[in-house]
Every structure is written in C-alpha cells, then in structure tokens.
Structure 1
C-alpha cells in the first residue's frame, strides 16, 4: 500500500451530500475514494488506521529534543504510536530527560554505542511483535541498513530528519520526510561568524568541545539554538569549515578567523 497524504470526504449515508452535517472528513493514505464508496469500506479504513501499530526510534545524538513533537505528529498519521524510544550518548541526554512521553536509553560514551543499541532494539521489536510501521528519526546514513532489514521483514519504514540526510538513507526507507527546522540563512551566517571568532583565536590549535561550548555560551549561543542535537553533530555537518579531532575542534585548514570570514564573503578567491 502506497502511503501519501490525500484527503477524502465520506458523504452522509442518508442524503449523499458532502456538505451534510453528518458527513465526515477524513485523512487517509493513498486510497481511492470511488472504490471506498463502492465497497463501503469507510469504517474499515478508520479501524485500520487505529489498529496499525507504530514504533518510533530516535537518534538522540543527532536529533534535538525540540523536534520530537513534529516527529510524533508525523508518526500519528500512520497509526497508533505504541513505542517512542530515544537513544543518546550519556553526555547528550540532558535535554531528553525533560521530554515527556518517551523511553530514554542513555548509552555509555563509546563510539556508535547508541546507534548499535537502536538498531538491535528495532530489529528485536520487528521480530517479536506485530508492529507494522517503524519511524526512524535521524540523518545518519548508518541507519540505511536497518531500514533495509526492516523492509525485508515486511515492515513499512518512514525516515524523518530535520538535517541533511544522505541519499542512501532516504532511498532505503519506504518514505522519507524532511522536517522544517533550524535558523534561517541570516541567523546561520551569524552563528558561523561567532564560531569563527572563537576558533580564530587559535586557528591551528584545537579547542576542546567543552571549552568551545563554554565560549559559545558566553556569546549567548547554546545547543538549543542549533539545528542539531549538540555541537559535535553541528560541527561535523560543516566539515568544510571546521575540523573535529580527538583534542576538540579547530578551523579547517590553516585559516585564521578573519581569513575564514573573508573566504565566506568571497568564495571564489580560495584560501588566503
């Protein structure tokens, strides 16, 4: 069954008028109105909407808590949401701890621990329950294989992201939905300028992420202002500007803060 938002109107069984007070306007996914009228399947469609079980798995390291409401709103269009699980590194769980209606799975600070746990739990649920629809909220292409495996087990997979997901992940899902999010272009430029000012003080020497976050906080910028869940994921998404390393983060290449700003203003001039 192909799923896509298309509204239809069920006419009153007495007067056959769509404008009758007894008419019910419904939202359903991909069904032909004429066939529904012919077969009298309206109530069956409603029952199917409410009986379809949905599980939501959130990559809490790359999806900020402020996006959980639009993610769940999208999931509710697919059926009854019976499970909402968020997986995050223990250093990223602060914002999620205050989010109601979720099951939080904090992981130890080891590479890919939360991603691995999410994949294992999703597959276990797929094999041990009758949940038919899975929502994966992330922009990480590493979840493409999970989406493919779920689909081979007959599950319908919706990928949701507010960032820039890879084509591989998008194509691996049954359907993909991009959430509007993040600062506008002017605000993003202002954010990059502040970052350049902080990192430009020691352009070739990394600054620890903890110290970097503190410096940005002093400038009035916190992780709640980011389109990503944390500074690491935001900086990693702009690898042409910033370089992450075991010691922290620095400007890409050997640019000073002012040179970096000049390059942004005149992108055709190359490095100075």
Structure 2
C-alpha cells in the first residue's frame, strides 16, 4: 500500500535552492498529499515564489516557524491519518517532533544539511543529507582584441607624376621644391613634355588639380612648385 506523505519544510532554516531535492526525496517515499513551507512571508528568502509549495506564514517571532510546523504535523497525524512525514530542516529542535510522531506510529524521514546534529538524525526513521549546491558561476567572455585600424593604401604614381616627383626631388634649388618657371623649363628639357601634351591647359592647372601631390604658390616671378607628400612608389621609372 502506497503511504501518504506530507512535506514539512522549515523555510527559516533551509534555503529555497533545495526545493527540488526535497520534492524528489518525498516522491520516493510515498504519495505526496501536502507540501508546506513555514516561514515569515515578509522575508525575501525565495520560498514565496517556489512552485510546488504552500507557504504558511508563521510570523516573525522567535521559533515561530518551528512551533507552527510542529503543531500542524501532530494535527495531520492524529486527525488526517497521515503516517509518513518528511521534515526538511537541519535544526536539532525538531528532535522532539520526530520522536513524538514516531510514538504515534508515523514514519519520519528527515532531510537536511551536514550541520544537522546527530541526536536529530537518530530521532528520525531515516535521515537524508543534502549535498551542498555550488554557487552559479558567471562566465565572462574574454575581452575582444581591438580591431586593427585600416591603413589607407598608398596610391601608385602615374609615369608622368613619377617624372615630376623625381625632377622636384633632385631640384638644385632644394629637395622637394623649385620655382614654377624652372619646373616648366626642366620638364621640357628633361622629358620633352610641354603643356600641349597634357589634358589641362597648362602646368599650373595640372599641378593644382592634384593637391595631395603638389603645392603651387600664387602666380608671380617667385612662384614655387613644392611636393606636398613624402615620396611615393613609382609606377614606372622615368627615362633619361
């Protein structure tokens, strides 16, 4: 014959994290007809939101949960003929309750933590010790390495710009610059290139249309052509 079993949990002594373990143990002992947890309902101890348990508010007095739990257990045994109890607590004060219930012929299964005293364990028909539940471990993702900055590709110079760069870099007037007049003359003398070979109308227009490569000062006798960037890789070597 399947025994009716009632779970009586001391919510002031047992953490709600053991709720599932207590129910599992009860279901192996008989047919669960009542599952109660006794505690101060105003406490935020997790029992109020635990499914499967009827929360019995015991108030905030000292040992209030213990006293109410003991009274209800004796009442269930004598008036409802419940003959199997699972007392979930590690409190040695329940030694007397376990002893009295067994005197009435009831089976008492105690369940609690390792700290439960030996005298309480001995008063039960049997005692189940719950294993400590390890705290949840928060896994933190390793920090991501910073993304490498994109480096702009270095543009290749056209053959004409390579020739201009070489001419200005080797300028006798100073590396990287020369007068506009000297530039026009040397481009013709060195490479035989004149404005008629350009898509622009003159050298000034050509140079000013490429501000990342060249700087041309305002018109005048002292107008200067200057490189505005460091020497760039050539697409082809100039002739001569």
TM-score range, shorter chain: 0.5 to 0.7
Matched, 1:78 2:29: yes
Distance in 2 between the 1:177 and 1:114 partners?
21
The alpha-carbon deviation at position 108 of structure 1 amounts to 1.7
The 3 A distance-change label for structure 1 pair 93 and 131 is farther
Deviations for 1:185-235, whole angstroms, at most 9, x for unmatched residues? Answer: xx9xxxxxxxxxxxxxxxxxxxxxxxxxxxxxxxxxxxxxxxxxxxxxxxx
The alpha-carbon deviation at position 52 of structure 1 amounts to 1.2
DSSP 3-state at the match of 1:110: coil
Q: Write 1 or 2 for the structure with the bigger share of helix.
A: 1
Deviations for 1:139-186, whole angstroms, at most 9, x for unmatched residues? Answer: 0000000000000000000000024101110010000000111448xx
Q: Which residue of 2 aligns with 1:105?
A: 56
DSSP 3-state at the match of 2:50: coil
Given the alignment, which residue of 47, 67, 79 partners 1:96? 47
Q: Which residue of 1 aligns with 2:118?
A: 167
Is residue 60–residue 87 contact of structure 1 (8 Å, CA) maintained in 2? yes
Is residue 41–residue 48 contact of structure 2 (8 Å, CA) maintained in 1? no
The alpha-carbon deviation at position 55 of structure 1 amounts to 0.4
Distance in 2 between the 1:94 and 1:75 partners?
22
Is residue 16–residue 45 contact of structure 2 (8 Å, CA) maintained in 1? no
How many corresponding residue pairs?
Answer: 136
Q: TM-score, normalised by structure 2?
A: 0.54
The 3 A distance-change label for structure 1 pair 157 and 129 is same
Is residue 5–residue 31 contact of structure 2 (8 Å, CA) maintained in 1? yes
Given the alignment, which residue of 35, 40, 53 partners 2:4? 53
Distance in 1 between the 2:9 and 2:106 partners?
17
Unaligned runs of 5+ in 1: 1-47, 188-272
Distance in 2 between the 1:128 and 1:157 partners?
17
Distance in 2 between the 1:147 and 1:86 partners?
17
Larger Rg: 2
Q: Which residue of 2 aligns with 1:139?
A: 90
Q: CA RMSD in A?
A: 1.7
Q: Which residue of 2 aligns with 1:119?
A: 70
The 3 A distance-change label for structure 1 pair 64 and 94 is closer
Q: TM-score, normalised by structure 1?
A: 0.48
Distance in 2 between the 1:92 and 1:164 partners?
23
Distance in 2 between the 1:116 and 1:80 partners?
25
Distance in 2 between the 1:93 and 1:62 partners?
14
Unaligned runs of 5+ in 2: 138-240
Is residue 7–residue 85 contact of structure 2 (8 Å, CA) maintained in 1? yes
Spell out the pairing of 1:160-239 with structure 2 (5 A cutoff): 160-183=111-134
Q: Which residue of 2 aligns with 1:214?
A: none
